[in-house]
Amino acid sequence: MSFLPIKRRGLLFILSSPSGAGKTTITRALLEQDKHLSISVSVTTRQPRPGEVDGKDYFFVSKEKFDQMVENNELLEHAKVFGNHYGTPLMPVEKALANSQDIIFDIDWQGTQQLKQKLVNDLVTVFILPPSQDELERRLRSRQQDDEAIITERMKKASDEISHYSEYDYIIVNHDLNRSILTAQSILEAERSKRRRITDLPNFVRTLMGDA
């Protein structure tokens, strides 16, 4: 993995998908492979799932605390999903971007829209589609985390979420997990080399031209 020897601004790598399409699995794989990538840890009012750790997977807070953070403009984006509230703390993101750190986001289309309103030039957006509706339902059931009512609700919501695919820069159809991970990594690498992200490029080029 190559990196430019000059300073650049970090980027926000957004992965969205209907529940069960694979964004969380792909996110974890990218984080394991790439030391220059960190995850944005969201705050949420939902209860922890088995194995989730406060401060690592999410910051689990009360509804009252969440409302206070919204009121104090401490969240970059926030949304209500399946009856629970989710949001992204603002300060850690701003600090990371300034320090050339890339952040991956596992958020829905609503959160992506809010980020576009505030940090559009820093965003790289990827929407992950399942190969079929039947496969999406199979994956939801195989997780064995939700009861029948929740699975039915997630399948109904999937169509609405998928309808927002055209708002994203890139599309990955996740029929093969390993290939999807490689595609996501390729997108990330290409976006890191975009000229507008390389903040010290003019000075670097002048040294190459002998003008410094």
Tokens 């929740």 locate to: 150
CATH code for 12-40+101-206? Answer: 3.40.50.300
The percent of the chain in helix, strand and coil, each rounded to the nearest 5, is 45, 20, 35
Whether 37 has a pLDDT exceeding 90, the answer reads yes
Predicted confidence at residue 1, as pLDDT, reads 47
Contacting residues for 131 by C-beta, under 8 A, at least 6 apart: 173, 174, 175
Spatial separation of the C-alpha atoms in residues 8 and 175, rounded to whole Å: 34
Residues facing residue 84 across a β-bridge: 81
Predicted confidence (pLDDT) per residue in 150-176, tens digit? 777 778 788 889 999 999 999 999 999
pLDDT tens, 78-116? 988 889 999 999 988 989 999 999 999 988 898 899 899
Parse the chain into domains and list their residue ranges: 12-40+101-206
Please report the pLDDT score of residue 211 as a whole number.
67
Q: Record the pTM.
A: 0.80
Given a cut of 90, is residue 148 above it in pLDDT? Answer: no
Q: Does 71 have pLDDT greater than 90?
A: yes
Query: Which pair of tokens denotes residue 168?
Result: 């994203």
Q: What is the mean pLDDT of the chain?
A: 88
